[in-house]
Amino acid sequence: MTGKLAERVAVVTGAGQGLGRSYAIGLAAQGAKVVVNDIGKNDAGTWTAEAVVEEILEAGGDAVANTDSVASGDGGKAIVQAALDHFGSIDILVSNAGIERNKSYAKSDESHWDPVIDVHLNGTHHLCHAAWPHMKERGHGRVILVTSPSGLWGNFSQASYAAAKMGIIGLANVLAIEGKRYGILVNSLAPIATTPMSAHTLPPGLGEKLPPDLVTPAIVKLASDDLDVTGAVLVAGGGWFTSAHIAIAPGVHLKPGEQLEDHWDQVLDGSAIEPGAPLDPDTLSAMFSG
């Protein structure tokens, strides 16, 4: 299949359904050879990754399924090795696999924390660490780390999820710095879409306006050879594309003898940087109404 990603090899984790499925199909439609990774099975007991591979093959694309878990170092290596074994290289990495264990923080325990950190944050590290030397050797790489508005702005009952997703942005910032000299561009994407994992968090009437396919153009752009940006945090959903930024306010420089207490309001004043409103469900409903 021809396209802007022809002959490129992509790995997409958590690609058996929802956003990951859309990402894998979208990359394949642009000519990429895709490793479709997912550990899930459907109601019939079939690996969801295999079902997505069938969709890609029927459309004339090239793909292979992988069912290793990102939650261990060995799993991350096996996923990357699948790309090397089947297609000979890895050019694009989309770290998308995820789970939730939602609980208000006071009522949560290790069972709501450890698995989420293992899949999201540690899993992203396992994949990047396995793919990095191969991309570095080739002098080319496109790494897309999937974060979340929950990480950027928080969300009730999602302490572990938000912590992992913000940690992913920290990792992306470092990899963007270290990878640029080797032609490896690393960016983050915070998607807003209706998926099996997110549907319960969206207000009535909003879900149908946020299909996963309306996020996928961001993945295709961040995977493309003509990309010239690294270290960005994109936010995408419902056909809306923007970027999030970590800004710093002017603050105050204390003169000799001045007390911090006397200038505390000025230290906390972020009005000069015009921070955006958190993307909570009510804000999203207002944005996509009408």
**182 among known catalytic residues:** no
Cβ atoms of 66 and 82 within 8 Å: the answer is yes
Measured CA to CA in angstroms, residue 137 lies from 179, 181, 209 at distances of 11, 12, 42
For residue 246, what are the contacts with CB-CB under 8 A and spacing of at least 6?
none
State the Cα–Cα distance between residues 63 and 150, nearest whole angstrom: 31
Classified as helix, coil or strand, 142 is: strand
Count of other CB atoms within 10 angstroms of residue 2: 9
Classified as helix, coil or strand, 191 is: strand
Choosing from 23, 105, 161, 182, which is the catalytic residue?
Answer: 161
For residue 126, what are the contacts with CB-CB under 8 A and spacing of at least 6?
70, 71, 72, 73, 75, 76, 77
What is the set of active-site residues? 161
